[in-house]
Each structure stands twice: as C-alpha cells, then as structure tokens.
Structure 1
C-alpha cells in the first residue's frame, strides 16, 4: 500500500489543520508529528486524549506516521467505561495537551505532552521532519475505536491502515473529494465520523480541515466564506442550522456556496432536508456506515440525492439484504431485509474478542450490521431501523419503525419522534410513538388521533401507532442518536 498520509511525505506550506487552539501547515504538521512519532515508535498502542483540538489531531497523526495503533479516548467517557477501555486496549503511552488534567484511569500510563503552541519544529521550512519508520503493511492496525457498548461493555474495533485507505479513496470517488477541498465540521474526533472521515480524510486527500469547535449558522457561514467547500454534520447539527438559517437568511445563502453538505451517524428527517435546501440551495447528502465497517454507502456528488435513502454502495463494497427471522403466520416482509456487507474497509475484528468477531459475521463471511433496509426503485439503500430496537412484530407483520417516524415527521405538528414496539398481549407488540410536538400547548388527544390517522393514510392501517406519547425531548447519545432503550 502507498502511504496512508502521502501529503506528509513531501510536505508543503499549504494549510493542513485548523482548530480553535491553533493551525498548522503540512510542513509544520509533518515536523511536529514525525518528531512525536519517533518518541512513541515501537510501542504496542498509544492512547490519545481526543478533545477537538490541534494537540489531539497532531497526536493521532503522529501515531499513524509511526505505525503505532492509536486508541482515541472520549474525554467525556465515564469512570467505569474509561477503566474498561484502558484495561482492554492496554496502551503504553497517553498523549495529551500540556496542562490537561487526565482522569485516574490514565494515571498509570507514560504521559507525553503534545505541545503545538510552544514549539513547531521546522515551521520556517529550515528543518526537515524527523525520519519515522517506513510505511507499515496495509493489514497492520491503525486505530482501535471503541463501540458505543449498547449491548454490553464497549468493544474495541480494530481498523487497519488498508481499510481506512480503501474507504477514504472510495469516498473520494463518490464525492469527487480532492486536495482542493477544505472541510468544515464540529464533530468529536474520538469516533470514526469526525476522526477517520473528518480528520484523516482531508489529510489523505492533501486538502485541509477547519474544525469549528462548535457549530452554528454564523460560524459555518464564516468558514465557507473563508473557503470551506465541504461540510460534515450529524442530524442534530443540521436541525439547529436550519433554525439558524431561518433566523439569518444571509448565513444560509453563504453556506450555499459550499460544494457538498454531508450528513451521517443517524437519519436526517425529510423536514430538515427541505429546510436546509430552502435556506442554502444545497441538497444534503447522506451516507451510511458503522464503527466496524467505516462507510458503506453514500449519496454521490454527481447524482441528486433521494430523501430517505443513504445512497449506493461505495466502490468494491457489496451490500445484500438477507431474509429477516420468520415465524409461523407472519406476513411477507415487503422488501425488507437484514443489511449484510463485505468490502475492503471492514474492521479486522474486535480486540482480543475472537468469539464476538466470529458472531458478527455470517458463515460465508459477510458482516451483520444489525440494520434493516430495503432497496428503492432507483437502486439506493433505504434504512428502516435496527433489528434490535426498530423491527416491530405487530399483528403478524414485521414493521420498520423508521418508515413510521418518517411519515410522522411529514406532519407539521411533529418536531421529533421515536417509534418503538412495546409488549402487547393481543398484537405481540404495539406501536408506540414518542412525539416532541412543535407546539406543546397543542399536544392533546385530538392531535394524537390525528397523528394516528395520518400514518394510517400514508402507509397502512397496520402500521399506525396504537399509542402516541408526547414528550419534551428524546434521549440521545453523544453522536445525536436516539437511545430508544431508554424509552
């Protein structure tokens, strides 16, 4: 494999990374990262205190250059989760910005401060980067990223250098992503969205990243005015941006000068799709993937996106829909299937968990995503939900929670919604919709009945909610995903 970060092999004075705590060119980053890389070379693994800072991004880059697997640590992880991650991954070193107080779980590790403010080796171009080891084999691990742990303690997904390179190159093809692009976002960099796509991605292309720290309409408009061509975000970001743009139309028009708006990590509602496009003139493109698989499908830059879908499989990526578990008396699945995938970007396995790794794959080697999907007439993948929480078996039918949620979001009275199945002695499970109303004062029995009738008319009577519960908000994790188990 060629270098994972080729632009650092022969660095220039073009901008590479910009965070709220500082900015570096490729020449400066190569000098900093290679100098730090020599200090960690040969270690089994290195933890990085992954705050959204230049120091953390430099530490991650140093690990990649030195061929040392990086364990990005969520700075908001609880005491128990953090202790589990440290015990599981057994890093020898932790990298952090000077002066940052680290929690007790990291206290036993050798600490190396990443000082980007006080010293930039070779900043003037007079000093060449310190030599680092030759490019490791493609199969070697680059990252160990811990899953959310919704079904037990978090598991460390081992992502190889080759998997990351293959996925980013396939996304470059889908999005026409080049070194001329400047990416803007405010995503955390301990997760694959903000880390692999949002930080390593620009560096692999030879472009640049402008990390905003936090996102709002005015801040993003300034970034685009300064040259940002691509924007990454999660649905929560776009929901808030839509409101910002409605209050400040000039900001929306400025953001519309970007080339691509990309959303991921959860489904963007049809309502917010329409609001963003009205404000900016740009249609948001969605993509789909998991920690273990990186990105699998994406709406392409050269095609108009279709709301409610996550695009086509990337180059060299295969996606199939396997039959869902059946029981006597159940109705046909109406095109729904369990999403299974294979491709060069899949993880190597869960760290030191061979049984869990084997259980995640089918007998013929496909990865079970746990998602439910269907193909549209145009050959795009639409996700209906998760098998664990979004496949509702009611009255002999298999029903996807996602399509009910999308239908409800087309109603003007619904701001947010989460649909779940709850045990029912007659139906097996009954459909319950948790609705955040646009007007709390209007949330009454008449509105609930209206929402039920709305779904029955749009979809089918057997897919209508049997109960509507009005709530102030929906529980979400750090990536903006609704935590349905809490409902």
Structure 2
C-alpha cells in the first residue's frame, strides 16, 4: 500500500499534519478519506487546486487512499494553462478547494472527518495503477501530464527513507508548493508513508522555519539563501537532524553558510517529475558541496556522449545523464511519441541533464543540456561551474550563466548578475575574476547587471527567458 503507515498504525496521532495553524489527526485523515471515497465513487480521476491548505491535504490523501488518481493543479496557474491541464487530464471534478474558474467541471468539497480513530482499507487495486498525474512546466510546449504509479512513489519514498534514515519519530517541516514532487510527494506523501508528523508553514519564511521545531527541513536554494541571510533563524535550526535542499543547484557559498550557522551539512539530491528522486547524498556518507551524491537503492545511472557511447567517470568529463530506476514514470498522458522519445532502445530514461560522475560514483549535475551545457570555441563548458566561481565574488548576490549565439565561438558565455546589497563589481572585474579562478576559456565574454533573475514557483531560474 502507498500510504501504509497512515492506515496501519495502531495509534491516532493528534497532530499528524499541521498546515499553518490548522491541525489534523491521523483519524481525521482516514475518516476524510472514507468520505472522499463515498463522494467520488467510480471517478476516473479528479483535479485538486493544490494550495497550501488543509483542503488540499485531505483531498489528495483521500483520493490516494480511495484509489482515485489525482491531478494537482497549481493554485497560481494562468487560466489558459489551467484549462489545458483540466482538459488534457480528463479530470471529472474539482475536489477540495473551489477554484475561481471551474473550467466546466463540477466542484466537490471535502467533508472533514470527525475526531478520533477511524479505520480505512486502501483499495486492493494494482500498485501499477496511476496515483498522480503531475504536469510539467511546459518549457518546450504545452505542459505534459506525467503518469506516476503507486509503485514508483512507494519505491522512491522507501529508498529516500533508507538514505536519510527517515523515521516515524521525525517531524518534517517545509513551506513548498503542494503540486510538485518536492513538496507534495516527498513532503506530504513521504510523511504519510513513513508515519512521521508533517508541518507545512504556508510560506517558507526563515521565521516560520525557525519556529517550527522540526527534525527535518525541506527547502529549495532560494529558501536556504533567505534562511542563512537571517542569522537568528538559521541558528534556530541547530537542533534539527537533517536539512535537505533540492529542485535546483544549491550554490556552494550557501552550502558553506548553512554549515557555519546551523552545524549541518545539507543533504542534496537530484531528480525530476518523470524519474522522481534518483540520486542523493546520504546521512552516513559524504556531503560534498556542489555534488548530489550516489544513486538510490535500485537506481542505475550512466553518462553518454553525443553518439551514445559511455564517457569516463573521472569527475570532470561531461556526459548526458541516463537513468534506469523503479521510480520512473509510466509515460506522458496521451503522448506516445513524447514517451518514446524519452527513452533509448534499451529502456534508459533520457533525463535531458548533463553531469559528471567521479570514480567513487558521486554525481555532479552540470545542468540542462539545452541551456547549461555551453559549446564555446570548441570547448564544452558547464554553466554551473562559472556560476559557482562568480558567487565567490563579494559583489555578486545571484547569477545565471547562459550561452548566446556567436558567429565566431558558436556560443559566447554571458553572465546575468544581481549585485550584492553592499555594492556590485564592474563587469570587466567579474570577467577577470573568473579567468583567474577557472580556465581562461571559461570566462564570460559579457556580464550583464540585472535587478533580478526570472524564477518559477520552486525558485529555479528560468534560463530560457534569458536567451531571448
């Protein structure tokens, strides 16, 4: 069963889930699941407006316990994209919080279950049944629905529990969106499977994290950057057991600052909507700044060149990252061609990312092949290496490096820099700084000072917006 700890535990935890100031007991979750099952009996799939709310928690939990696939819809998504998700997914109703635009679907509110212990048996359907249909960001066209099975979710959560020594006595805290893998699958569903208490802070502010009293904290790099900028909030996390960063690369200066203020070297991990989490540093292993660790249990990875040949695991040679794993998705909904393109002839998933692997199997993600691998003057350069170097300059607060078309070089390296509050540096100074830190051919040919970098809801820089 996917949520085995929730339905099999003997005790009824009074505060199994807390969302801001609202608390749900384990009994309420199970009773609400029974209500969902009754209200939506026979539904093929339903849409849930995935705001950070108790309604979202009850709707998602109830559907998964009732065996009804869930389509999480971002609460802040535009009308056109919302209509596409609802239409493309074939959702038959909105469950839980009512959206402003129903997009032609009926709305079914969640009936909150009563207090006290309740029993509910998860349906005996196949573990290969679809549990979630999560839509991609749509950077290469309309968002695609990623089919995630109950089996894949369970395999990933169990592998992470092993790597992180995640247990029922933990208290997991985060304030991330509940429509992505990070906040929804790892945060909420992971807690319900492991059996630990789950706290959602509404927003991932430093003050909220400091006040939560958790043993595990999840955050994206933007969250951790803000936490370490608040010394008192960061130091309040010292009693925690584990700090986890994901969804984008954690800048090395932020990693070092976390260690200095909290006493914890953060866990970094790597994955995607299609593969879930496949690589992570471990509680009992090395946590190297800028590296995301080793393959999880059951996961195999390989690096290949443009011809599909394996590349060296020497910690320096960049290759396309391929994955085989029990956590992989079952395809894109209604997109057989896109599904076929995502895999090679031997069943390896093409992640679209480029990486390096060292002799010990540690992985470093260079970034997306489309925007983070820069081919300049005959060299293959990773944007992340240049970004890390620039972040070491006191005049740089944030940076994104891309390759722009160049008639002579093929691509020229361009750095978009947000200056530090204490004052930035001249572009020429930053170019020279990189040339001194790295090989000369890795220096930016141009530095553009900007007020802010474009980001999505998870804090990822939208580099394609910088290519125009």
User: TM-score by structure 1 length?
Assistant: 0.91
Pair 1:424-2:421 in alignment: no
Alignment of 1:183-222 (within 5 A): 183-222=172-211
Q: Gaps spanning 5+ residues in structure 1: where? A: 327-331
Pair 1:483-2:462 in alignment: yes
Equivalent residue for 1:103? 100
The DSSP-based 3-state class of the residue aligned with 2:248 is coil
Question: Separation in 2 of the partners of 1:266 and 1:3?
Answer: 27
Equivalent residue for 1:329? none
The DSSP-based 3-state class of the residue aligned with 2:345 is coil
Question: Separation in 2 of the partners of 1:205 and 1:480?
Answer: 27
Question: Separation in 2 of the partners of 1:468 and 1:73?
Answer: 37
| Contact map agreement 1:55 1:115 (CA 8 A) in 2 | no
Equivalent residue for 1:175? 164
| Contact map agreement 2:215 2:242 (CA 8 A) in 1 | yes
Change (3 A) 1:86 1:377: same
Q: Gaps spanning 5+ residues in structure 2: where? A: 309-313
Alignment of 1:63-462 (within 5 A): 63-97=63-97, 100=98, 102-104=99-101, 106-116=102-112, 120-121=113-114, 123-125=115-117, 128-129=118-119, 131=120, 134-224=123-213, 228-245=214-231, 248=232, 251-324=233-306, 334-439=316-421, 441-444=423-426, 448-462=427-441
Instruction: Give the superposed CA RMSD.
Output: 1.8
The DSSP-based 3-state class of the residue aligned with 2:457 is coil
For these two proteins, the number of residue pairs brought into alignment is 460
Question: Separation in 2 of the partners of 1:232 and 1:29?
Answer: 23
Change (3 A) 1:276 1:80: same
Residues 379-422 of structure 1: CA distance to partner in whole angstroms, max 9, x if unpaired?
Answer: 21001111111111111111111111111112222111101111
Post-superposition shift, 1:6? 3.3
The DSSP-based 3-state class of the residue aligned with 2:260 is helix
| Contact map agreement 2:29 2:62 (CA 8 A) in 1 | no
Residues 74-96 of structure 1: CA distance to partner in whole angstroms, max 9, x if unpaired?
Answer: 11110111111011001112112
Equivalent residue for 1:54? 54
Q: Which moved more, 1:47-56 or 1:30-39?
A: 30-39
Residues 155-214 of structure 1: CA distance to partner in whole angstroms, max 9, x if unpaired?
Answer: 000000000000000000100001111100001001111010010000000111100001
Question: Separation in 1 of the partners of 2:319 and 2:424?
Answer: 38
Change (3 A) 1:35 1:269: same
Residues 350-395 of structure 1: CA distance to partner in whole angstroms, max 9, x if unpaired?
Answer: 0011110000111111111110100134421001111111111111
Equivalent residue for 2:17? 17
The DSSP-based 3-state class of the residue aligned with 1:349 is coil
Question: Separation in 1 of the partners of 2:28 and 2:307?
Answer: 54
User: TM-score by structure 2 length?
Assistant: 0.95
| Contact map agreement 1:50 1:74 (CA 8 A) in 2 | yes
| Contact map agreement 1:297 1:313 (CA 8 A) in 2 | yes
